Structure 1
């Protein structure tokens, strides 16, 4: 089941210029590179990563805490 209300997902969609998370997910559902966000509580760094990324390296805080928006939403 999809979870479209997670705060980090909303933050990521807004950072990419989307007012609606659904529009964000529809635009990136079939892409080979998608927006990702650091899920550490004190970091909101974003980057373009693989759609299935669950533990990418954050260039700002140095943790393996980057997740793609598709993973956060539960699409992957």
Structure 2
């Protein structure tokens, strides 16, 4: 099931310059590296990580809380 309204996904897409979540997902669906965002409530750090990343290290807050936009959306 896709989740195209998750607040962190919206923030990630906007940070990457997209106004539409679908456009963001279409552009990165086949990529080897995709934008990811920290899922911690008080951190919105972004980085390019693996498409299936679920617990990457956040360089801003130090937590293993980075998640790929594709994972957040439920595509992976």
**4+ runs of 1 displaced by more than 2 Å?**
none
Q: Which runs of 5+ in 1 are unaligned?
A: none
TM-score, with length taken from structure 1: 1.00
Aligned to 2:35, the other structure's residue is in SS state: strand
In the TM superposition, residue 33 of structure 1 has moved relative to its aligned partner by: 0.1
CA distance in 2, matches of 1:60, 1:33: 19
Q: Aligned Cα RMSD in Å? A: 0.2
Once the two structures are superposed, residues 14-65 of structure 1 have per-residue CA deviations (whole angstroms, 9 ceiling, x without a partner) of 0000000000000000000000000000000000000000000000000000
TM-score, with length taken from structure 2: 1.00
